[in-house]
Structure 1
Amino acid sequence: MTTDAAPALIRETFPVGPLQCNCTIIGDPLTKKAIVVDPGGDHQFILQRLEILGLKVVSIIHTHAHLDHFLASGEMKKATGASLHLHEDDKFLWDNLEMQCRMFGVPYTPVPAPDQWLRDDEELACGCGVALHTPGHTPGSMSFWFPRDKLLIAGDTLFRRGIGRTDLWGGDYASIEKSIRQRLYRLDEDAVVVTGHGPDTRIGDEMRSNPFVRG
């Protein structure tokens, strides 16, 4: 006797905000519950996409606490009641979001404190993925792995033929190289990688062709 395979997750990624951070909606097609990753601006557009997709946000999760990945988080929480999640090692950055905005000339919209701290290997809301602690770009940088769909949301840790910069607050090159080699490059080579900015890539392509960290 055979059973039907579980339907693929709903995934939509689009650039938002003044620095064009990639925001991703991940939705469970059965329960219609959703996660929003890195709402870096344009909260009304994100809410519109969720409505069109028929999804209800239960969790707003952040790959890290640089300003361009949080700018719509407060408005999203206010509109949806969803909880905010971040790794605790980035608390110092979250506590200084207003300063970050001033430095980059971006208007600051107050954001409440995170409701919960993300942990390494923590199961995400909806039970569809897991959080991976991948420090280097920031001390608390996280990636989010959805094994059934072979999908990785890497934030600013790994880009198409690039890696996250390590010259900002708390950045560390040795740590980001270790995170990529020991955590990300050990995932399925066919997995699609959603980057923090710019186009998607694949794990195997980066292992072979990334000029900064080869597999």
Structure 2
Amino acid sequence: MDAAPPALIRETFPVGPLQCNCTIIGDPLTKKAIVVDPGGDPELIMARLDKHGLKVVSIVHTHAHLDHFLASGQMKEKTGATLHLHEADRFLWDSLELQCRMFGVPYTPVPAPDRYLRDDEELACGCGVALHTPGHTPGSMSFWFEDAKLLIAGDTLFRRGIGRTDLWGGDYSAIERSIRQRLYRLDEQATVVAGHGPDTTLGEEMRENPFVRA
């Protein structure tokens, strides 16, 4: 009998002034990794990568609110990894300085994205796909790792909550559709990594989320 492949490396930890959940996803065989939402503390992120012996090949973003990419420029400079975003959020990416002023957060310039994410695009680590889940922002993305039963939902879905839709480009009807038609059709046993706060499972949210139930 063939041995099961080693489990995906996954570590999630809060970073930055607004405590965004940054997630490292690594292939245990190739040691290639992606970093999702480096919202600050680049030295901490690099230390966690070094602990696992991983090399970052791409930095991907669930959306372009400042707390999800404050350290993206520094991470790119340190690693040479490419920056990825859905094109519909480029207007937010380009307004980082304005966002920082509004929230009283120090501004660190970030270069333009290297390429734009597409719906159902395979991620660079070869172990997951990008899902376009608009609503919190027009270009909000979730990242689905089927074999690991893992969903990185950004600020689309939280434990017993959903993302705000009263900020730039928010749309309540769109986020409801994204959750019902994209996320709730995935494996209900999957772990959900939200953009902030604790993990949950899809099944729990389908039954217990007070905003959107299956």
Say yes or no: TM over 0.5.
Answer: yes
Equivalent residue for 1:35? 34
Partners in 1 of 2:92 and 2:116 — Cα distance?
Answer: 14
> Counterparts of 1:13-52 in structure 2 under 5 Å?
13-52=12-51
Alpha-carbon distance, 1:20 to partner: 0.1
- Residue 208 of structure 1: SS of its match in structure 2? helix
Unaligned segments of structure 2, at least 5 residues: none
Equivalent residue for 1:214? 213
Equivalent residue for 1:4? 3
Partners in 2 of 1:130 and 1:3 — Cα distance?
Answer: 26
Q: Are 1:205 and 2:204 counterparts? A: yes
Q: Deviations over 1:146-194 (max 9, x none)?
A: 0000000000000000000000000000000000000000000000000
> Counterparts of 1:40-189 in structure 2 under 5 Å?
40-189=39-188
Aligned AA (1:6): P
Partners in 1 of 2:125 and 2:73 — Cα distance?
Answer: 22
Aligned AA (1:11): R
Partners in 2 of 1:193 and 1:157 — Cα distance?
Answer: 11
Identity %: 83
Q: Deviations over 1:91-127 (max 9, x none)?
A: 0001101100000000010000000100000000121
Partners in 1 of 2:3 and 2:159 — Cα distance?
Answer: 34
Partners in 1 of 2:22 and 2:165 — Cα distance?
Answer: 21
Alpha-carbon distance, 1:4 to partner: 1.2
Alpha-carbon distance, 1:3 to partner: 1.2
TM-score normalised according to structure 1 size: 0.99
Partners in 1 of 2:186 and 2:200 — Cα distance?
Answer: 14
Partners in 2 of 1:93 and 1:71 — Cα distance?
Answer: 12
Partners in 2 of 1:10 and 1:162 — Cα distance?
Answer: 27
Partners in 1 of 2:21 and 2:125 — Cα distance?
Answer: 21
- Residue 170 of structure 2: SS of its match in structure 1? coil
- Residue 120 of structure 1: SS of its match in structure 2? coil
- Residue 49 of structure 2: SS of its match in structure 1? helix
Partners in 1 of 2:147 and 2:109 — Cα distance?
Answer: 36
TM-score normalised according to structure 2 size: 1.00
- Residue 169 of structure 1: SS of its match in structure 2? coil
Q: Deviations over 1:118-148 (max 9, x none)?
A: 0000000121000000000000000000000
